[in-house]
Amino acid sequence: MSERASGVSGAPEADRPAAILGLGPHGERPASPDRLRLGEAEAATARAAGFTVAVVLHTRQSDWARQHLAGIVATLGRFAVTVLEVVDCAFDAGAQVRALERLVRRRPDAIISLPVSNSGVAEAHRQVSAAGIHLILIDNSPSALRAGTDYACLVSADNFGLGQIGARLLAPCVPHEGMVGVVSYNLDFFVAAQREIAFRKWMADQRPDIRLHTVKFREMEQVGPMVGCCLDDHPGLAGLFVIWDTPAIAVLAELRARGRSLPVTTIDLGTEIAVALAQGDLVRGVGAQQPYDQGVTVATATVATLLGLEVPAWIALPALEVTRERVVSVYQSVWHAPAPETLIRAALG
């Protein structure tokens, strides 16, 4: 089944789950990042080769993206790989397609990309490999692409594990036969689908008494109004699970504007959500990714691919469970940085 996720740097032992719970986009068994080790001989070969890489991200504006990029660039630097360019697509599929087309003409040895949609960007990604440029994917794999042919590997968090954490931390706050709102994303994204399916599975297995009501958004601006309608239609709503932290911030704003106090769980330990978790009034738990360590893994997989090694099709980093008691320590280990003053103050009451 899934292997033990041991030796992941940057997270206290107590915060680590025993295993990766999910499978890859094509059913791949997870490979743990600490199993992808390059020795000094491989590092020397890479440094002598003088590889070049371009990075195409959904955004550079979020804490997650900044940390992820830091992990990628620092690790590529150790192998003397030059980062030619980092593109911020601003979540726009058209911008990503244009960036990939331009980068193919620039001909780096590899492109690292986080696909911002499914079918809309699949062909542009396929053209990268067709041009003889190695492609390494982050988080999402457009369903038409095949590992080993169209891309070398996919690196992501264990999104199935993250979804289960969201359910496990919310369930104790919900009374028997209560109703929970699931605020999810209305695209067949590997990441979002895995989180929602896992949340539902945990509830079905462990708390079948809880009824689930789904709210699907397409644009971030829709989140507040849609959750507002949900609260109007279901005044007895007993909790909310939000698919990641940015929409969760909109949900918190909606709840506060209405003076409602509902338990919320979400995924990603952004600063605002971490502070809300430390305050303890609405956010009851978070499933955290490890963006810096994931960046390190992405870069290592990229170098291994450039050296002609066959890397696993899906490399997954374990999900971290974050509660109010440990929010500061997990924040530090996830972000490789001291917690901000606002978080410290909220945590210390």
Partner 1 sequence: MAERPIDSERHSLLAVFDLIRTGRAATRLELELASGLGRAVVTDRLATLTQLGLIEEGERRPSMGGRAPRTVRLRADAGGILVANLDRSTLDVGLADLTGRVLFEHHEPADLAAGPEPLLARLHALFDWVLEQQDQQRALWGIGIGVPGAVETPSGPAMTLERLTFAPSWASYPAVEALVARHRAPVWVRSSIQMATMGEFGPPDPARPRDVLFVELGEEISAGIVSEGRLHRGAQGIAGQIGHIPVGEGSDLVCHCGNRGCLETLAASEAVRRAAEAAARDGRSRRLAEAVARGTITVPEIGLAAQLGDAAAAQILARCGRLIGTTLAALTNALNPSSIVLGGELTQTGDILLAAVREAVYRNSHPLATRDLAIVRSTMGRSAALAGAALIAVDELFGPDMLAAWVGRGTPMLHPDLPALIAEAQARLREPAAAAPARPPAPDDRHAAPSRPGRQR
Give the interface with partner 1 as residue ranges (CB under 8 A).
1-4, 6-7, 21-29, 31, 34-36, 39, 42, 143, 146-150, 160, 188, 193-194, 197, 200-201, 204-205, 208, 214, 309-313
* In the complex, least distance from residue 186 CB atom to partner 1, rounded to whole angstroms: 8
Nearer to partner 1, 255 or 311 (CB): 311
Nearer to partner 1, 79 or 331 (CB): 79
Give me the least distance between CB of 313 and partner 1, in Å please.
7
Q: Which residues, including other chains, have CB under 8 Å from residue 322's CB and lie 6 or more apart? A: 15, 269, 274, 277, 285, 286, 287, 288, 330
Q: Which is nearer to partner 1, 3 or 177 (CB)?
A: 3
Q: Shortest distance, CB of residue 57 to partner 1, whole angstroms?
A: 25
Q: How far is the CB of 1 from partner 1 (least distance, A)?
A: 6
Q: Which is nearer to partner 1, 101 or 209 (CB)?
A: 209
Amino acid identity of 187? Answer: L
- Least distance (Å) between residue 43 CB and partner 1: 12
Q: How far is the CB of 317 from partner 1 (least distance, A)?
A: 16
Question: Nearer to partner 1 by C-beta: 22 or 71?
Answer: 22
In whole angstroms, the minimum distance from the beta carbon of 202 to partner 1 comes to 11
Query: How many angstroms separate the CA atoms of 213 and 233, rounded?
Result: 11
Shortest Å, Cβ 5 to partner 1: 10
**Of the two residues 39 and 349, which places its CB atom closer to partner 1 in the complex?**
39
Q: Which is nearer to partner 1, 1 or 348 (CB)?
A: 1
What is the three-state SS of the chain? CCCECCCCCCCCHHHCCCECCCCCCCCCCCECHHHCCCCHHHHHHHHHHCCEEEEEECCCCCHHHHHHHHHHHHHHHHCCCEEEEEEECCCCHHHHHHHHHHHHHHCCCEEEECCCCCHHHHHHHHHHHHCCCEEEEECCCCCCCCECCCECEEEEECHHHHHHHHHHHHHHHCCCCCEEEEEEECCCCHHHHHHHHHHHHHHHHHCCCCEEEEEEECCHHHHHHHHHHHHHHCCCEEEEEECCHHHHHHHHHHHHHHCCCCCEEEECCCHHHHHHHHHCCCEEEEEECCHHHHHHHHHHHHHHHHCCCCCCCEEEECCEEECHHHHHHHHHHHHCCCCCHHHHHHHCC
Q: Nearer Cβ to partner 1, position 90 or 309?
A: 309
